[in-house]
Structure 1
Amino acid sequence: MLRKSLIAIHHLTGVGWATIGRLFQLGWEGGKISEHILSQLPAKPAQVIRKNWSSAYMEKVIQQLAQKQIDTMTVFDDDYPDLLRDLPQAPWVLYLLGNRALLTSKCIAIVGTRKASTYGKRVTEQLSRELANETWTIVSGMAAGIDGIAHQSVLAVGGNTIAVLGTGIDEIFPRHHHKLYHQLIQSGLVISEYPPGTPGHPGLFPQRNRIISGLSFGTIVVEAAERSGSLITAEFSMEQGREVFAVPGPIQSPGSKGTLTLIQQGAKCVQSVTDILEELPDWRTEPFTQTKKEIAVTVDLTKIEKEVLSYLTNEPQQITELIEKMTGKIPISDLHTSLLSLEIKGCIAQLPGAHYIMKSY
């Protein structure tokens, strides 16, 4: 009942990630939603639920998905990817077409500009094929340019690849990737967190990028302009504590501005596939065997990180609260840097709304 209820309520326009999270916080276990719970939700989503929610609606949604042969995965499923589950806003529901098992394979993302140069195309083909031959599953966004080339190159050598869409699972965007879309369903996997029928919208694509990086041990940016969706994916990857790789290019090329900046900021410069593989040794691709307590013992913290950690508790604190508490003690820039570092080291967790909480072991 809970699984079906989650999938169905996820279809309601106006009921977003935070509202669903609030429902669970209030004790909803699927099925009927009491007036007591609805009264504690924001007015607009509460009104949408009152107007549309029923057991008949739930069954209708499930039947429609079955008719379209669209598979689903929820955050409550055993095979939901652990890397994705660790995200501050892990998708409640994923819609799938293709090989579901690829979501639990070892993944690495390849992204880049839609206006790929000849150089960018060749590098993408080479890296994609070589990584596929090393049994890595290549994750990208099925966009024009670097994304599409990465998928096509992997399929050409019989490798595994996952496309994360910024539209509903049944919406093909861009249109000229109609053939690629069906090849991916046949020989790989296409996924989306948006309900079927959701059209493309500029605001959806940056949001889906967190899933591309979230599924992956690292993100490779081949070509990217100064302001690029690929850089958003790289930023998500850094925030999630994953590896970031960048391919260097000519300093005069607009398509190299973003990757060169990433290298300046500390991304690993990629000259060959070896540069990637040496940062992803075999143990990174296997289940972690250390307990959280063992990991905590081996973490080395800087003096500033220890100070920041002393202000965090088991109760979520908003970033503005921390800034107020630490004003005059450390620079704000050091606070942000320390929070990111502590999150990467597994000492704290970031929750929705820029809230931070100490992890308990």
Structure 2
Amino acid sequence: MDARRTQEYLACLALRHSPGLGPRTWKKILSAYPSAGQAVADAVQWPGKKLATAGQVREFQSGAWRAKADHEAEAALARNMHALLWFDPGYPEILRQIPGPPVCLYLLGDATLLQSPCLAVVGSRRCSRYGLEAARKIGKEVSRAGVCIVSGFASGIDRQAHLAALEEVGSSIAVLGTGLDLVYPAANRDLWLLLRDRGLIVTEFPPGTRPDARNFPHRNRIISGLSLGVLVIEAAVRSGSLITATSALEQGREVFALPGPVNLESYEGCHHLIRQGAMLVQSAEDILAELRPQLAPSGADSPSEPPKLAGTGPLRPGQRWPDLAGDDLLLAEALHGRERVHIDALCQVLGREAGEISRRLLVLEMRAIVSQLPGMYYQLQ
């Protein structure tokens, strides 16, 4: 990192770590100057330009931000992390337009995906098979149309949406609520490697930031901010997914919701959104038709056969997947007829190491044959 860029980076960190300044104030300040360095050098003029109060300027000039900013910079540079700054050409304009955009993002993977049209897909960690099937089918078809799927790297709906999108041309972006050097949840390490190599991982948080419930609403505004719209697939009334939907509405984004069985509490949030005016979605085409005016001309054609959500009848593995063989077929047979099976039990049944079984399960998951549950349990889809 050259001297000029280092100055810009430190100026962005100074704004972020200054007590009393928040994302909306950062945006006002940075929008008034040609660089972050010039913005912080002109802090004494902020009150006169109605960018910040005199009290905020005094707090900033006290240098209360310096220790945290220096620590973050040292940690990021030591790990050779790529930082995307407010004034960088690659900073996505759609994110810059939200009321409180981040001044700095850390990236791992294909940064060009930030320039793609995106759809956020969010939902419950403890989701139903119906929800998983919807995430897979809709995510795959939307991604096939050239739209990148953005989600939050959680288990359940997020994981399934990421995996489905990575199969297609649109690929996927994961927005974290932790530092870029942590894999959370740990069970998603296989997905982390896929996103690193074929997608993009993004976070606003400094290296070493551990999971904290207070961070996830901040993450959620970035998920919706990168996207043309947000699809809520399965969510309770009080859930992070509804926080993301609320952020989307504040940012002027489209909000889509998948209806579910009326007796499932995990769909009450979706039904609430629909009553409040969210667009009811049954297929990928419902979303693409709404977003098509905003999609780049280079995007692929929409799917000719929109996915329909079907039931999951109890078929024998050999009947349902006649192309399975070897360990893949043995895994399907071990899971058949059981609500869930831990990976350790599958290792014992097949007599294989956990790493080998994990790789085979990931392949089956991407083919929508199995689903991963919290705690490293698996089930047939």
- What is the aligned-residue RMSD (CA, Å)? 3.0
Verify the 8 A CA contact 1:73 1:95 in the aligned structure 2. Answer: yes
Instruction: Flag the 1:123–1:11 CA change in 2: closer, same or farther, 3 A.
Output: same
Instruction: Flag the 1:25–1:137 CA change in 2: closer, same or farther, 3 A.
Output: closer
Verify the 8 A CA contact 1:22 1:41 in the aligned structure 2. Answer: no
Out of 72, 77, 87, the residue aligned to residue 83 of structure 2 is 72
The structural deviation recorded for 1:243 is: 1.1
Q: What is the CA–CA distance in structure 1 between the aligned matches of 2:32 and 2:145, rounded to whole Å? A: 46
Instruction: Flag the 1:118–1:261 CA change in 2: closer, same or farther, 3 A.
Output: same
Which residues of structure 1 form unaligned runs of 5+? 288-361
Q: What is the CA–CA distance in structure 2 between the aligned matches of 1:229 and 1:99, rounded to whole Å? A: 26
Verify the 8 A CA contact 2:109 2:200 in the aligned structure 1. Answer: yes
Q: What is the CA–CA distance in structure 1 between the aligned matches of 2:181 and 2:30, rounded to whole Å? A: 28
Verify the 8 A CA contact 1:250 1:256 in the aligned structure 2. Answer: yes
Instruction: Flag the 1:126–1:251 CA change in 2: closer, same or farther, 3 A.
Output: same
Verify the 8 A CA contact 2:14 2:66 in the aligned structure 1. Answer: no
Q: What is the CA–CA distance in structure 1 between the aligned matches of 2:197 and 2:151, rounded to whole Å? A: 17
Q: Which residue of 2 aligns with 1:114?
A: 125
The structural deviation recorded for 1:251 is: 0.6
Equivalences for residues 1-361 of structure 1 within 5 A: 1=4, 2-9=7-14, 12=17, 14=19, 16-17=21-22, 20=26, 30=37, 40-41=55-56, 46-49=61-64, 52=67, 64-157=75-168, 159-281=170-292, 283-286=293-296
Letter matched to residue 10 of structure 2: S
**TM-score where L is the length of structure 2:** 0.66
Verify the 8 A CA contact 2:72 2:207 in the aligned structure 1. Answer: no
The structural deviation recorded for 1:254 is: 0.6
Query: SS of the residue aligned with 2:131?
Result: helix
Letter matched to residue 191 of structure 2: L
Verify the 8 A CA contact 1:123 1:222 in the aligned structure 2. Answer: yes
Instruction: Flag the 1:41–1:105 CA change in 2: closer, same or farther, 3 A.
Output: same
Letter matched to residue 232 of structure 1: I
Letter matched to residue 285 of structure 1: L
The structural deviation recorded for 1:161 is: 0.2
Instruction: Flag the 1:50–1:4 CA change in 2: closer, same or farther, 3 A.
Output: closer
Letter matched to residue 115 of structure 2: T
**1:234-280 CA distance string (max 9 Å, x none):** 11112211111111111111111111111111111111111111101
Instruction: Flag the 1:50–1:157 CA change in 2: closer, same or farther, 3 A.
Output: closer
The structural deviation recorded for 1:67 is: 3.8
Verify the 8 A CA contact 2:12 2:36 in the aligned structure 1. Answer: no
Q: What is the CA–CA distance in structure 2 between the aligned matches of 1:8 and 1:184, rounded to whole Å? A: 26
**1:70-105 CA distance string (max 9 Å, x none):** 111112112211111111111111111111100010
Q: What is the CA–CA distance in structure 2 between the aligned matches of 1:50 and 1:264, rounded to whole Å? A: 44
The structural deviation recorded for 1:15 is: 7.2
Query: SS of the residue aligned with 1:219?
Result: strand
The structural deviation recorded for 1:179 is: 1.8
Instruction: Flag the 1:26–1:269 CA change in 2: closer, same or farther, 3 A.
Output: closer
Q: What is the CA–CA distance in structure 1 between the aligned matches of 2:42 and 2:281, rounded to whole Å? A: 55
Report the count of equivalent residues: 282
Verify the 8 A CA contact 1:15 1:48 in the aligned structure 2. Answer: no
**TM-score where L is the length of structure 1:** 0.69
Query: SS of the residue aligned with 1:250?
Result: coil
The structural deviation recorded for 1:4 is: 2.5
Q: What is the CA–CA distance in structure 1 between the aligned matches of 2:295 and 2:220, rounded to whole Å? A: 21
* Percent identity over paired residues: 38
Letter matched to residue 96 of structure 2: R
The structural deviation recorded for 1:21 is: 5.8
Q: Which residue of 1 aligns with 2:322?
A: none
Query: SS of the residue aligned with 1:101?
Result: helix
Q: Which moved more, 1:147-156 or 1:104-113?
A: 147-156
Query: SS of the residue aligned with 2:234?
Result: coil
The structural deviation recorded for 1:12 is: 4.3
Letter matched to residue 8 of structure 2: R
Instruction: Flag the 1:148–1:10 CA change in 2: closer, same or farther, 3 A.
Output: farther
Q: What is the CA–CA distance in structure 1 between the aligned matches of 2:229 and 2:109, rounded to whole Å? A: 23
The structural deviation recorded for 1:178 is: 1.7
Instruction: Flag the 1:26–1:49 CA change in 2: closer, same or farther, 3 A.
Output: farther
Letter matched to residue 122 of structure 2: V
The structural deviation recorded for 1:227 is: 0.8
